[in-house]
Amino acid sequence: MTFTFQKHWLPQLDHIARRAGEAIMQIYRGDIHVQRKADESPVTQADVLAEEIILEGLAALAPEIPVVAEEAVAAGRVPDVSKARSFWLVDPLDGTREFVNRNGEFTVNIAFIEDGEPVAGVVFAPAIGRAFCGWVGEGASVHDAAGERSIRCRPAPPRGLTVLASRSHGDKAALAAFLADLPVHTTMEAGSSLKLCLLAEGRADLYPRFGRTMEWDIAAGQAVLAAAGGSVRTMSGAALRYGKPGFENPDFVARGLPG
């Protein structure tokens, strides 16, 4: 069957992400127990609990649509989406290292993939109380203590680019080489998919990523960024596709508006 994103789903996704965020924060305020998955990446009880909440919410929202979720995949529960026109991508706690280090830069991510592209998504940062929502063609918004408002990427400023780098991952030498001939004004470090959202709200201009990422790491953030006018491309300039075997991404560049 063919499914397209429905307008009334976006506020419901926001609600699901916030419920997962509440569960995460309960654990964040107490003792955090870290385990290691097969790939040596960290996982906590918050990852597992948040994913359970999200999967329950998506099953109630649209039970026919398959869900690719990080912890389920790690446990061997991998739906076949190779021929699916649409599916959900879920990272229940992106930035687990940030969560463990208690720096607040972690997010709940839910994205809707259609024809290999993220067309809608919600990124919720529970520790800082910021929710980003985007639907490509319909715009992006942020909801925080100041209220809800539309967001849009900015053109690259004449003074030079604000470049984002991963706080916990990435290849610093490759990043330095990539930036060598660009007019960089400043570089900021940030964790999780918040980097894509900073581009979307016009607080930064460029995020080159060298090193391993998975589709669920960036899908929701890419949807928000694309809805705000930005883009995510491979280093060769091709569109980043979703539903790949293994769900692993190549190196990519995320951008705001051209200068």
Element (H, E) at 10: helix 9-28
- Of the CA atoms within 13 Å of residue 75, those in its CB half-sphere come to 10
CB of 156 closer than 8 Å to CB of 230: no
Annotated binding residue 39 = no
Annotated binding residue 148 = no
Annotated binding residue 70 = yes
Annotated binding residue 162 = no
Annotated binding residue 217 = yes
Distance CA 7, CA 210 (A): 34
Distance CA 258, CA 241 (A): 22
Q: Which residues, listed in sequence order, are joined to residue 209 by a DSSP beta bridge?
A: 252
Annotated binding residue 71 = no
Annotated binding residue 196 = no
Tell me which residue of 253, 187, 256 sits closest to 225, measured CA to CA: 256
Binding site, annotated residues: 70, 91, 93-96, 217
Binding site, annotated residues for substrate: 70, 93-96, 217
Binding site, annotated residues for Mg(2+): 70, 91, 93-94, 217
